[in-house]
A and B are shown apart, each in its own frame.
Chain A
Amino acid sequence: MTVFDSNIPPGPLPEKWQNWLDTHKLVGPRNRAGKNVIVIGTGLAGSSCAASLGAQGFKVKSFCFQDTPRRAHSIAAQGGINAAKDYANEGDSIHRLFYDTIKGGDFRSREANVWRLAQLSANIIDQAVAQGVPFNREYSGALATRSFGGVLVQRTFYTRGQTGQQLLLGAYSALEHQVRAGNVQVFNRHEMQDVVLVDGEARGVIVRNLITGDIERHAADAVVLASGGYTNVYYLSTNAMGSNVTATWRAHKRGAYFANPCYTQIHPTCIPQTGEYQSKLTLMSESLRNDGRIWVPRKSGDDRPPAEIPETERYYYLEERYPAFGNLAPRDIASRAAKVVCDDGLGVGGTGRGVFLDFRDAIAQQGKESIERKYGNLFEMYTRITGDDPYETPMMIYPAPHYAMGGLWVDYELQTTIPGLFAIGEANFSDHGANRLGASALMQCLADGYFISPHTVTAHLAKNHDEVSTSDSAFDEVESDVRSHIQKLMDVGGGTSAQAFHREMGHVMLDKCGMSRTAEGLDEALAEVREIKGEFWNDLRVDPGDEEFNQSLEYANRVSDFFELAELMIHDARRREESCGGHFREEHQTEDGEALRDDEHFAKTTAWEYGGDDPVPHDEALTFEEVQLATRSYK
């Protein structure tokens, strides 16, 4: 195990980022057009990074597998984005946002990164407003804010329940502006297959044109991965159908360390699963917990309509167990509490895996109109999917895989262990520790994309780089690996779709490496995942024709990487002998069932080096100067 350097600049926490900015190397305006950057992914992080680098005058190639950059899955984020602006005059500050994020992450994130994130949060709102993002406003015309889980202030900015959509469309419009200006070239329906290293540095990528099937080479002076998270490893999740781990996983196999893969977030407020045919789970924004009260009947098997169950027979378990935060307890805690009451047989709905989210009291207090203004589109969406009307009867919700805190290991400059290869947004592991607070993902993606990576990538571009051509032998080798992997998938010749294998693996992962984990269960999961992987490579069916539009091949290609990632997640969960945030090991809990950390042995990030069946862990110790490690209590 090596201890390695996260390149945190010297100086007191509040000054570190400015110190870094003051001293990093620049590229003069006339030299920028000669520097090329590849950005993979066009979500909030990727679009904002590509647009910002383009605006500086660098030449950017931006890739997405969707048919247009605007469809990246950031579009589906609902609730809001945090910023320490203190418009509500509550004494909010950079320090408070920093502390809430560190505590929310169960003291498993890097102080310097989180401080910078909190510092930049206010700039993001200003940037988005300047682009025309129509944030909700008060009657005065000033920006409106609301509250989210795990905090006691109102620092969340929102555009109805479609904040991710509007922020992404803002970043997308900035991207298209740079396309028009000739600085950015967008390659839609192109999927990254691998990264190309020359003399140990990232100098290009191999992509597959999803329409023609052509395998293409692209060279650059730096490569930025903004390819999102990996919770589709669970099959059913709130991610989009296409969300995948391929870009980061293939980079991992080329030498980028993968950090904390076992930290995944299971979001408490999703619409419960109803059947085997289901292809995804739909999130209902956490913002609903501002006004909705979560409860189950106190009596097991109580199947009276919810309205007929009297107050005394309702178990408002979050309010009772966590009186200070109540229904706004952080996600990991709220999810686990839902699992516990359902395991105890108190769950509602057809499967018994559901809890009520009830707006009765809020409607009585504030009026239907006020609730409609805040959550109208979410209520409509719920009605559309379930056929129930939340104005009349409580919603039913249950936790679902939603977000990956783990990802490629990056240093303070968001650079991976491969020089010249950067990872931003959900693709990296950086700021959320073992659990992410609500409305922080949008904040991190845009801080990385607008304000951090454009500078840290510049610092890399300022170094001297020899010209690299796509005819370099390094491209030959990687392209040949990519082609043989695709050929291997084409050649299996079985009779089962990739989706069927994906579903089977997802069940195992959710059951044994999901909300709650044990050493025994993880050992079983490893064996089962390997077995399903064996069947996949034995009985996979892919449509014929790899040099054409072939969605079954795209899907199988992604699933082949999920199998390998699943194994690494299990290794990581097995090695971390403690409970923290989204990682709950049943062996490590307090008497009243809360997560029990082991700071002595595990106040560290685990960054895995690729090693096939035997991955190699490396530790980065987490040192805390500003905060005191404390038991994370929301009571």
Chain B
Amino acid sequence: MNFTLEIWRQFDGTDETEAGRFETFKVTDINPDASFLEMLDQLNERLSHEKKRTIAFDSDCREGICGACSLVIDGTPHGPQQVTSCQTYMRDFIDGQTIKVEPYRANTFPVIRDLAVDRGALDRVIQAGGYISTTTGPQPEPNSMPVSPEIQEKAMDAAICIGCGACVAACPNGAAMLFTGAKVTHLNLLPQGQPERESRVIGMVEQMDAEGFGGCTNYGECSRVCPQEISIDVIGMLNREYRKAKTKKKSKPEKAMTTQ
């Protein structure tokens, strides 16, 4: 298969004088079973051969679970199939097609170079409460705290988030509520998560705001691009948990951290 690629090139995201631009490449003789990233590998091998600068992009596991890939393909985070870019195959495109490739677009994800961005803000949201504050040591026997399979399934449906940030990139408001809602849903559903139920949701929501993520206005784009198909229900859960926590007396939220 043959394609024309319009790829975003940006030398250094920290230097505002350096403007980004699209650069056009033709790729030929691509195997339809090659993944989108393998197609970019081939282009990079050719660029090396031509002694031109290769295209920077993040990827690691290449099996859809690490969450490193962060492309916007033809306007959609990850690509057209609601799976990560590494599991997007060239057979999903039309032979001869022009494909536009950009990095994630969000103020909270500064560009490092070309298609690689900094998603450190998501780690800081987790630091603000996305855990159960237990430390290593003797723990209770798990079967002394039964969890029904229904609850486990629901928690797991949220816990499968890969932290790729596509939800942020897809949201017109740049909100991270699907990401945050997934973690709050996972932990707040489980019996182990109950003691920190309120401080968790308040801490994480305030950190989201401090990072500059937007708010949810129910576009639903996040869930539509989520490669793990996390339901927008987790945002409902996030809002409910937040409201309950804020209206309850005596909750002591931790202060949000400053960014960077």
Q: Decide whether A and B are members of one complex.
A: yes
Which residues of B (154-207) have their CB < 8 Å from a CB of A? 155-156, 159-160, 162-163, 186-187, 190, 192-193
- Contact of A48 with B62 at beta-carbon distance under 8 Å, contacts A131-B192, A142-B146, A162-B160 already known: no
Cβ of B131 under 8 Å from chain A: yes
Task: Report the Cα distance A278→B39, complex, angstroms.
Answer: 9
The chain A residue with its CB closest to the CB of B42 is: A277
Cβ of A1 under 8 Å from chain B: no
Task: Report the Cα distance A143→B162, complex, angstroms.
Answer: 24
The chain B residue with its CB closest to the CB of A450 is: B136
Cβ of A130 under 8 Å from chain B: yes
Task: Report the Cα distance A502→B8, complex, angstroms.
Answer: 28
Contact of B44 among A127, A137, A497 (CB under 8 A): A497
Contact of B139 among A130, A277, A496, A500 (CB under 8 A): A130
Contact of A76 among B61, B112, B147 (CB under 8 A): B61
Task: Report the Cα distance A211→B120, complex, angstroms.
Answer: 13
Residues of A contacting B149 in the complex (Cβ-Cβ under 8 angstroms): 136-139, 141
CB of B54 within 8 A of CB of A162, answer no
- Contact of A174 with B135 at beta-carbon distance under 8 Å, contacts A68-B122, A384-B87, A543-B53 already known: yes
Contact of B159 among A70, A73, A125, A169 (CB under 8 A): A169
The chain A residue with its CB closest to the CB of B81 is: A384
CB of A70 within 8 A of CB of B163, answer yes
Tell me how far the C-beta of A351 lies from the nearest C-beta in chain B, rounded to whole angstroms: 13
Residues of B contacting A275 in the complex (Cβ-Cβ under 8 angstroms): 31, 33-34
CB of B142 within 8 A of CB of A143, answer yes
Cβ of B132 under 8 Å from chain A: yes
CB of A176 within 8 A of CB of B127, answer yes
Interface size of B by Cβ–Cβ distance < 8 Å? 74
- Contact of A173 with B136 at beta-carbon distance under 8 Å, contacts A140-B146, A280-B62 already known: no
Contact of B116 among A75, A136, A140, A549 (CB under 8 A): A549
Task: Report the Cα distance A141→B149, complex, angstroms.
Answer: 6
Task: Report the Cα distance A165→B83, complex, angstroms.
Answer: 17
Which residues of A (557-611) have their CB < 8 Å from a CB of B? none
Cβ of B221 under 8 Å from chain A: no
Task: Report the Cα distance A129→B122, complex, angstroms.
Answer: 24
Residues of B contacting A179 in the complex (Cβ-Cβ under 8 angstroms): 127
CB of B49 within 8 A of CB of A496, answer yes
Residues of B contacting A137 in the complex (Cβ-Cβ under 8 angstroms): 146-149, 152
CB of A551 within 8 A of CB of B54, answer yes
Which residues of A (188-216) have their CB < 8 Å from a CB of B? 188, 211
Cβ of B246 under 8 Å from chain A: no
Contact of A159 among B31, B87, B128, B156 (CB under 8 A): B156
CB of A544 within 8 A of CB of B53, answer yes
The chain A residue with its CB closest to the CB of B87 is: A384
Task: Report the Cα distance A451→B137, complex, angstroms.
Answer: 8
CB of B132 within 8 A of CB of A130, answer yes
The chain B residue with its CB closest to the CB of A446 is: B136
Residues of B contacting A241 in the complex (Cβ-Cβ under 8 angstroms): 59-62
CB of B60 within 8 A of CB of A71, answer yes
Tell me how far the C-beta of A508 lies from the nearest C-beta in chain B, rounded to whole angstroms: 19
CB of B133 within 8 A of CB of A549, answer no
Interface size of A by Cβ–Cβ distance < 8 Å? 78
Residues of A contacting B162 in the complex (Cβ-Cβ under 8 angstroms): 75, 165
Tell me how far the C-beta of A605 lies from the nearest C-beta in chain B, rounded to whole angstroms: 29
Tell me how far the C-beta of A379 lies from the nearest C-beta in chain B, rounded to whole angstroms: 14
Cβ of A552 under 8 Å from chain B: yes
Cβ of B37 under 8 Å from chain A: yes
Task: Report the Cα distance A548→B62, complex, angstroms.
Answer: 25
Q: Chain A interface: which of B65-73, B93-101, B212-220, B235-243?
A: B65-73
- Contact of A497 with B66 at beta-carbon distance under 8 Å, contacts A87-B143, A126-B141 already known: no
Cβ of B64 under 8 Å from chain A: yes
Cβ of B74 under 8 Å from chain A: no
Interface centre among A66, A143, A165, A180 (most CB of B within 10 A): A180
Residues of A contacting B152 in the complex (Cβ-Cβ under 8 angstroms): 134-137
Task: Report the Cα distance A68→B147, complex, angstroms.
Answer: 30
Task: Report the Cα distance A143→B65, complex, angstroms.
Answer: 24
Cβ of A331 under 8 Å from chain B: no
Residues of A contacting B133 in the complex (Cβ-Cβ under 8 angstroms): 177
Cβ of A499 under 8 Å from chain B: yes
Cβ of A110 under 8 Å from chain B: no
CB of B112 within 8 A of CB of A497, answer no
The chain B residue with its CB closest to the CB of A497 is: B48
Interface centre among A139, A173, A274 (most CB of B within 10 A): A173
Task: Report the Cα distance A143→B141, complex, angstroms.
Answer: 11
Residues of B contacting A132 in the complex (Cβ-Cβ under 8 angstroms): 131-132, 155, 186-187, 190, 192-193
Task: Report the Cα distance A450→B136, complex, angstroms.
Answer: 6
Tell me how far the C-beta of A350 lies from the nearest C-beta in chain B, rounded to whole angstroms: 10
CB of B142 within 8 A of CB of A126, answer yes
Tell me how far the C-beta of B122 lies from the nearest C-beta in chain A, rounded to whole angstroms: 7
Residues of A contacting B147 in the complex (Cβ-Cβ under 8 angstroms): 134, 137, 141
CB of A454 within 8 A of CB of B62, answer no
Task: Report the Cα distance A129→B146, complex, angstroms.
Answer: 11
Residues of B contacting A129 in the complex (Cβ-Cβ under 8 angstroms): 139, 142, 145, 192
Task: Report the Cα distance A294→B162, complex, angstroms.
Answer: 32
Contact of B130 among A176, A385, A387 (CB under 8 A): A176
Which residues of A (125-178) have their CB < 8 Å from a CB of B? 125-127, 129-132, 134-143, 159-160, 162, 165-166, 169, 172-174, 176-177
Given A66-B60, A127-B139, A541-B49, 6 extra CB contacts under 8 A:
A55-B136, A68-B120, A137-B149, A174-B131, A282-B62, A384-B87
Query: What is the interface of chain A, defined by CB distance below 8 A to chain B?
Result: 48, 51-52, 55, 66-71, 73, 75-76, 87, 123, 125-127, 129-132, 134-143, 159-160, 162, 165-166, 169, 172-174, 176-177, 179-180, 186, 188, 211, 240-242, 274-275, 277-280, 282-283, 381, 384-385, 387, 450-451, 454, 495-497, 499-500, 541, 543-544, 548-549, 551-552
- Residue pairs across A and B with Cβ atoms less than 8 A apart, 12 shown, are A68-B122, A76-B66, A137-B152, A138-B149, A159-B159, A180-B127, A274-B33, A279-B37, A496-B49, A541-B48, A541-B51, A549-B12
Query: What is the interface of chain B, defined by CB distance below 8 A to chain A?
Result: 12, 30-31, 33-35, 37-39, 41-42, 44-45, 48-49, 51, 53-54, 56, 58-68, 83, 87, 91, 112-113, 116, 118-120, 122-123, 126-128, 130-136, 138-143, 145-149, 152, 155-156, 159-160, 162-163, 186-187, 190, 192-193
